[in-house]
Amino acid sequence: MFLTKGCEIKDGKLHIGGLSAEALAKEHGTPLYVMNEDIIREKCREFKAAFAKHFGEKAKPFFASKAFCCKEIYRIMKAEGLGTDVVSGGELYTALAVGFPACDIILHGNNKQESELAYAVESGVGLICVDNLPELLMVERIAREKGRTQGILFRVKPGVEAHTHEFIKTGQIDSKFGFSLDEAKEAIEMAQKLDSIKLRGLHIHIGSQIFECEPFAEAAEIVLRLCGEIGYTPEILNIGGGFGIDYTAKDDTPNLDGQIEVTAERIKSTCEELSMPVPFIISEPGRAIVGEAGTTLYKIGAVKEIKDVRTYVSVDGGMTDNPRYVLYGSEYTFINASRASDSADKLVTIAGKCCESGDLLGKDVTIVDSTRAGDTLAVLCTGAYNYSMACHYNRTPKAAVVMVSNGSARLVVRREGYEDLAKHDG
């Protein structure tokens, strides 16, 4: 049976971080996001160690908070010494609300609003990753009017396509993000003439859920050669994120240290060839830090067997708390937490409760044949892009988030009630 780190079977039941999944579901209700804090901290330290090994002190991981955003995750990242990147005023507000250092925040986005840029400049955000020329001029104007000099990076698309889902490829030329290589040359020249702007380097991001090593290295080399061609020496090179994780037994995530080593060697050799100092390296892991740490728990309702067609196992959540299957056809591992020792040999489709035929969490997946209404279903590796992408479709309240650590659990995001859904209505 495929189990993620921190999950184990005891007395026929699934346990998460030493706690019974059934007991967590009973105490906190379902659907329920369970995040293993010990795994999150371990992943943070793995990234820090890998980058320190291959770049020394000239590197720092920044948590990509779009993967999982709440106050508690920023407290953890601050304690672990990571920076963070944000992609909206809301994410920035949440980070600042718990005292996350503004100097360790990067603001991203392909169409940042003027109010968001002003908020970032006023707050002292360390870097704004500029996506286009109009945005560059807007940042410059805001910084000048506020009497500040704002550090920026340019997002550059290197033309490298990673082998991942079309919707999460971002490094190819046909992308809504960033400057092409030719556009970047013009932008670099322009930025160096603006008094209220300090261009500190370049940023690349080629996509998400990537298992290969070569695309990261290739993208870094392409951007460094662009810098060499125009005589620009970047202080910072942000290589983005996109490191994949194992969602099911068939996934095969490469060793993180090896993945970083391939990119590091390419960066060093390219810089040596160009007689360029190695820039300070920033990386932005998100899914790779929180993905495996998350498990979503549901209460099983109707089990509907359509003879010679399909068996539907319905749960009390669905696309409102995990839209990734609907968006990308994402695969997961499903475990009946109440009967975890039974043989998983029943082919079923996991259906959500929304009034939508496409509201599924998995199609033709295997769970135990003894599955019954009232059982607790666990979906593994749901720590990334589940809570953060949750929605109110059908006026569904958002689920609670529980953080588990050292055999204890604490509520970090309360469950919404119906009153929360209507409080902004006129």
Q: Name the strand (E) or helix (H) holding 158.
A: none
Point out the catalytic residue in the list 354, 355, 381, 391.
355
424 CB-contact burial (10 Å; exposed 0-12 / middle 13-18 / buried 19+): exposed
The sign of the dihedral angle between the CA atoms of 172, 173, 178, 182 is positive
CB-side neighbour CA atoms (13 Å) of 234 = 35
C-alpha to C-alpha distance for 179 and 129, rounded to whole angstroms: 11
Share in percent of the chain as helix, strand, coil (round to 5): 30, 25, 40
Quote the radius of gyration of the chain (alpha carbons, Å): 23
As a whole number of angstroms, the distance between CA 240 and CA 235 comes to: 16
CA torsion through residues 259, 291, 67, 349, sign:
positive
Is 355 one of the annotated active-site residues of the chain? yes
List active site positions. 355
